[in-house]
Amino acid sequence: MNRRSAQGVTLVELLVAMALAGIVAVMVFGWMGHASKVSHASQVRDDREQDLAILRDALFQDGTFGQILSVSGKELVFVRKRDTSIDTLRWSLADTGLSRSGRRFLPTDTIGSWEIVPRITEVEPGTDPWSLLDKDLDGKVDEEFLNRLEAVEIRVVVRHRGFPALDRTVTDTLRLVAPARGPG
C-alpha cells in the first residue's frame, strides 16, 4: 500500500471540494430563486388576464342582456331584467378607476385617460358621433337618439406594474365594447 492512500485527503483537496460544492449550491439556489420569480410573475399575469376577462364579460353581458338607459362621457347606465327583478347597472369612469354599480375593476391600475365612444350606424368615417347624438350639448346622448346606437366602446388607458414583477410601469389601452341592444 502506498503512502498517499493511507493518509486520506489533504487539506487542499478538502478546500477544493468544499469550494466546488459551494459553487454548485449557489447555482442551484440561484436557479430556484429565478424559477420562483418566473412562477410569481406568471401567476400575476394570469390573475390580471382573468380580471380583464371578467371585466369584458360583465360589460358585454350587460349590453347583451340589458338595454342602455343613458350614455354620457363618463357613465353608461343599463337596465337588466333578472328573473322577477329589474337591475339598474351604472358603469362609471373616474380618475380612481372603472366601476360597475360600486364594484371597482382593476383595483391596482391607475387610470391615465378614458373616453366613452358611441358607435352608430350609417355614419361617415371620421365623423364625431357625439356631435350627432348630443344636440343639446349636455354631455349625454339625447334620448331620441338612443335607438341609433349600435354599441358603446369604452377606451381606457391604464398604468399597472410590469411583468415579471419589475419596478417599472406598463401602460395599456383597453377597448371594451358593449352592444347597445339585447333581448332585455
- CA distances for 91 relative to 48, 129, 173, angstroms: 20, 20, 18
pTM of the model: 0.69
pLDDT at 98: 83
**More confident call, 23 vs 76:** 23
Confidence category of residue 184, pLDDT binned at 50, 70, 90: very low
Give the pLDDT score at 31: 93
The mean pLDDT of 160-170, rounded to a whole number, is 67
Parse the chain into domains and list their residue ranges: 3-179
Burial 75-104 (b: 16+ CB within 10 A, else e): ebbbebeeeeeeeebebbbeeebbbbeeee
Mean pLDDT of 141-167: 78
34-77 residue pLDDT tens: 888 888 878 877 887 888 888 888 888 888 888 888 888 888 88
